Amino acid sequence: MNWKRLLGYALVSIVIGVLITVAVLLGHYQDFRKTPLNISESGVIYEVAAGTSLKQLAYDLQRRGITGHPHYLVWLGRELDLAHRLQAGEYEITPGMTPEDLLRKLAGGEVIQHAITLIEGQTFKEMLAVITASGDIVHTLDGVDSEELMVRLGHEGEYPEGRFLPDTYHFPQGTTDLAFLTRAYNAMEHHLAEEWAAREEGLPLNTPYEALTLASIVEKETAVAGERPVIAGVFIRRLKKGMRLQTDPTVIYGLGDRFDGNLRASDLRSDTPYNTYTRDGLPPTPIAMPGAASIHAVLHPDNGDTLFFVANGNGGHYFSRTLKEHELAVKKFQLGQSVSLPPASTR
């Protein structure tokens, strides 16, 4: 046997060995991309830092025991053209997720969304307390007063009460309180502008801000959805007739920290800019965050003829057309006297 033939056999053996090795590696690689990651039943919250490379990701996942073949993950990312598309953020890795699933999730920026709910009827102070208490948001406004806060929002000189739309807002990790408030402010601006453009004609409201102010009063007066347009109608008719609104929530707002939970007759006589028993028209600003339904009610009020209402003790109100009827309702529902009232009707 000559040396050339031996060399040929050796080369063939090497090639065969290489092909076998490649075939084995490809088989392992294909198994890797289809095999679920090593995740507990409860899943894993995994954070990708800004600037993390695919290789860094792969070896970190190996270190945590989530995957055992970092080089395979690098190959997979390159094959899928996702190697340079990974996005920073907080991700949930769930049971059954494969390496390909994970890479596509990271490349798609499917980060965990946190949430804060702003509730209808909250005051600005109460809203800030909710945001401050959240551990899911980056706090940058600690110690900042309301005037400076509005400056940072880009709305210097505006009073903040009522200017943020109540809703549940979802946001990714790293969102600041300022960014959150900007979003809620813009949401209210957009919603109010749309509602104002579609308002009914003939309303005694000159600006969207006046509508916002009245909507905040309606919001504080009732939690019954069907009553909002009825109460709005009462206030609209009173404004048209030049009657004072005479609504307790504005008085309470004007009392501020002096209000101890018990509204007294002396409070109704104590004049403040928000006392609608002593002053004509609307108060100078909203008194809370009105929801979308209250804003709509004010701009599309009930067209009945009632001018008065009083809490009926069941969470709703009794509406009256005349002062005499209203006085009877007050005796019945607030003083507990046995009096006869006209049957309830659409008012």
**DSSP states along 194-250:** HHHHTPPTT-S--SHHHHHHHHHHHHHH---GGGHHHHHHHHHHHHHHT-----HHH
Q: What whole-number distance in Å separates Cα of residue 160 and Cα of residue 285?
A: 9
Would the pLDDT of 169 be above 50? yes
Q: Indicate if the pLDDT at residue 25 is higher than 70.
A: no
The pLDDT-based confidence of 55 (bands split at 50, 70, 90) is very high
91: Cβ–Cβ under 8 A, 6 or more apart, which residues?
45, 46, 47, 48, 105, 106, 110, 111, 112
Q: Is the pLDDT of residue 161 over 90?
A: yes
Q: Which class for 225: exposed (0-12), middle (13-18), buried (19 or more C-beta within 10 A)?
A: exposed
Q: Supply the pLDDT for residue 345.
A: 47
Instruction: Please report the pLDDT score of residue 128 as a whole number.
Output: 97
116: which strand partners? 169
Contacts of the segment 194-203: beta carbons below 8 A, 24+ positions apart: 195/292, 195/295, 195/296, 195/299, 196/299, 198/299, 199/299, 199/300, 200/299, 200/300, 200/301, 203/236, 203/299, 203/301
Q: 65-74, 178-187, 193-202, 236-245: which has the minimum mean pLDDT?
A: 65-74
Mean pLDDT, the chain, as a whole number?
91
Task: Tell me what pLDDT residue 27 has.
Answer: 61
Least confident span in 73-82, 186-195, 221-230, 330-339: 330-339
pLDDT for res 170: 96
> Between residues 341 and 278, which one has the greater pLDDT?
278
Q: What is the mean pLDDT of residues 228-251?
A: 97
Q: What is the pLDDT of residue 338?
A: 83
Token look-up 């701009």 returns 299
In this predicted structure, what is the pLDDT of residue 346? 44
Residue 12 scores a pLDDT above 80:
no
> How far, in Å, CA of 320 to CA of 119, rounded?
30
Q: Percent of the chain having pLDDT more than 70?
A: 91
What pLDDT does 237 receive? 97
- 190 vs 331, higher pLDDT: 190
Residues forming beta bridges with residue 310, ordered by sequence position: 318
Please give the model's pTM, rounded to 2 decimal places.
0.84
How many other CB atoms sit within 10 Å of the CB of residue 189? 15
Count of CB atoms situated within 10 Å of the CB of 19: 10
Rounded to whole angstroms, how far apart are CA atoms 195 and 208? 9
* Range from 32-36, 130-134, 252-256, 297-301 carrying the lowest mean pLDDT: 32-36
Q: Residue 61 pLDDT more than 90? A: yes
Average pLDDT, integer, range 86-103? 95
**Which of 23-32, 34-43, 211-220 is predicted with the least confidence, judged by mean pLDDT?**
23-32
In single-letter form, the type of residue at position 269 comes to R
Nearest to 151 by CA among 125, 109, 185: 185
Residues with Cβ within 8 Å of residue 81, at least 6 apart in sequence = none
Reply yes or no on whether the pLDDT at 8 is more than 80. no
Cα–Cα distance, 246 to 280 (Å, whole number)? 9
What region does 168 belong to: left with phi over 0, alpha with psi -120 to 50, or beta? beta
Model confidence pLDDT, tens digit, residues 135-146: 999 999 999 999
Task: Return the SS3 of 258.
Answer: helix
Average pLDDT over residues 109-130: 96
